[in-house]
Structure 1
Amino acid sequence: MSRQTPDYGLDGGRAVRAMFVVGLAAAIGGFPIMRWTSSRHLGLAYTLQIFGFSCLIASSLAFASSRFGKLHARDRIIARLKLRGDESVLDVGCGHGLLLIGAAKLVPRGHAVGIDLWSNWQQADNSREATLRNAALEGVADRVSVHDGDMRKLPFADRSFDAAVAHFAIHNITGGEGRREAIREIVRTLKQGGQVAISDLMAVDLYADELRKSAMTDVEISGLSFWTFPTARTVTARKPAQPL
């Protein structure tokens, strides 16, 4: 009997699948146009094929990112926190538990908590049950818990966590103010001296700005990471050891 392996989901699943189908249809559809129409339609055929192959390449890169690349990206994001092993860690928009479980492995004397709205548009087959199943397969079910909730109104008390992470999650909130709300909530739930690492494909400058406005220190933005598609940057920061 083969051992089950964890599945961390296909990011943007429906969009990626649609892109693949449309790309394949466009790439194939260009051939009969070239074969059975006059030369004046060759431009249309070439344009259709270029569009099709571009969609196929993009969907293939997105698939590879979800299956392989984001595992490498996760390790680099969590490494920025330099966890000791006894922390409580929050994963905001945890999805299938990629960072949640990665953090749980590094805190054998701690706990990792995930929260999500379980959208299947942002991640295919997303559910609390899928996340808990992955935690069990990875051997960390005893120190992982997940909650339903909106990252703009986290259901946790002030200063609950030693660290917080988020990966390709906060940008799903529509509008800058909503994203700023999520950042403020993360800061609120961090203990004094707590750390945050947020990786995203967009809006990291906004996150950094709000972290600074929330009195976080050591706010830094990394260079581009090419392990994921689209590429991403990570913003890190620390909450002062004493309240300001």
Structure 2
Amino acid sequence: MMKKVHYGLDAPLVPISYLVIGLGILINWVFFHQYATAGFVLLYALLLIAGGLIFFHTSFRGKFIIWDKILAKTDISDDATVLDLGCGHGAVLIALSKLLGPFGKAVGVDLWKNADKSHNSLEETKRNLEIAKVADHTELVTADMAKLPFEDDRFDLVTSSFAFHNIKPNKKRFEALSEAHRVLKPGGKLIIVDTGNHKTQYINCLEKGSEFADVSSENTGFNGWWTGPWMASYVIEATKK
């Protein structure tokens, strides 16, 4: 039997909690719905269940659609050196690797925390790279995104998929953005896909000091909803001067 790549579930406690609580309330409503607010309780239960299912869609399918669209319009030389920050199980890292030729190199950085993704580990990601047949021109590094162990101006492209919002506090998040700038070559591109309420912070930080040109942002729509439109996702792109 052919082995399959396993990318895990993002923030697993979130969708599981939504579904368990929603189903619990729904079951309670089925047996005890003879009260004035029963309609609102039913609606609340259905919203929780829908939110959990939408989360599963985004984690297992939606984010891949988002990155397919991004990479389809991103010009990447086949001999480029690229870096994926917070690579997790390697979904974006593998997609990047498949765009490179024999002289290209893709590097993934992570701290491998299970709270961020189910079964998140260096060994699991190595396994995925081998199954995807890209292990020969990829490298995995255990490191903090705010303290990257790379020299200045090394990478042609730096990407990050739903990782920056996990960095706390804000000061450290800004340090990670600064590190992404430092390791990018002049003319290199930074692409961040993320969720949460930090988009304006990211844009302001990238535009500060005019270190980046062509800073742009775009919402990703339904494929980037984490439970619903109140937790949407966005793409930020910038080019280092």
Global fold match (TM > 0.5): yes
Query: Are 1:84 and 2:77 matched, yes or no?
Result: yes
Residue deviations 1:2-50 (CA, integer Å, cap 9, x gap): x22211111111221122111111111111112xxxx5x341x333322
Q: Is this contact kept in 1: 2:194–2:234, CA < 8 A? A: yes
Match of 1:102 in 2: 95
Q: 1:61 aligns with which of 50, 54, 68?
A: 54
1:183 aligns with 2:177: yes
**1:206, 1:166 → 2: CA distance?**
16
The answer as to whether partners of 1:111 and 1:144 remain within 8 angstroms in 2 is yes
Q: Distance in 1 between matches of 2:219 and 2:114?
A: 29
Match of residue 126 from structure 1:
120
CA distance in 2, matches of 1:127, 1:80: 30
User: 2:66–2:220: 8 Å Cα contact kept in structure 1?
Assistant: no
What one-letter code is carried by the residue in structure 2 that aligns with 1:237?
A
Aligned partner of residue 114 in structure 1, secondary structure: strand
Residue pair 2:161, 2:194 contacting (<8 A) in 1 also: yes
Is residue 2:113 matched to residue 1:111? no
Q: Is contact 1:94–1:116 with CA below 8 Å preserved after alignment?
A: yes
Distance 1:196 1:5 in 2: 30
Larger radius of gyration: 1
Superposition CA RMSD, Å: 1.5
Aligned partners of 2:70, 2:6: CA distance in 1, in Å?
A: 19
1:226 counterpart SS class = helix
Alpha-carbon offset, residue 201 of structure 1: 1.3
Match of 2:220 among 191, 208, 224: 224
Whether 1:213 aligns to 2:212 is no
Shift of 1:87: 0.7
Is contact 1:89–1:161 with CA below 8 Å preserved after alignment? yes
Measured after TM superposition, the shift of residue 155 of structure 1 is 1.4
AA aligned opposite 1:217: A
Query: Does the Cα contact within 8 Å between 1:30 and 1:46 map onto a contact in 2?
Result: no
Q: Is the 8 A contact 1:101 1:138 kept in 2?
A: yes
Other structure's SS at 2:222 match? coil
In the alignment, is the contact (CA less than 8 A) between 1:81 and 1:195 conserved in 2? no
State TM-score, norm by structure 2. Answer: 0.91
Counterpart check, 1:163 vs 2:157: yes
Are 1:51 and 2:47 matched, yes or no?
Answer: no
- Could you tell me which residue of structure 2 aligns to residue 26 of structure 1? 25
- Specify whether residues 117 and 198 from structure 1 end up closer, same or farther in structure 2 by C-alpha distance, changes over 3 A only: same
Contact 1:73–1:225 at 8 Å: present in 2 too?
Answer: no
- Contact 2:97 2:137 (C-alpha < 8 Å) held by counterparts: yes
Q: 4+ residue runs of structure 1 moved beyond 4 angstroms?
A: none
Amino acid at match of 1:19: Y
User: What is the deviation of 1:224?
Assistant: 3.3
Q: Deviations over 1:95-131 (max 9, x none)?
A: 1111111111111231111111111112111111111
How far the C-alpha of 1:80 sits from its partner, in A, is 4.4
Give % identity: 34
Structure 1: give runs of 5+ residues left out of the alignment.
none
Matched positions, count: 233
Deviates more, 1:47-56 or 1:106-115: 47-56
How far 1:76 moved relative to its partner? 2.0
**TM-score (norm. length: structure 1):** 0.90
C-alpha displacement at 1:226, in angstroms?
2.6
Q: Distance in 1 between matches of 2:50 and 2:104?
A: 41
> Partner amino acid for 1:9?
G
**1:114, 1:147 within 8 Å by CA — same for their partners in 2?**
yes
Are the aligned partners of 2:215 and 2:238 in contact in 1 as well (CA < 8 Å)?
yes
Aligned residue for 1:234?
Answer: 235
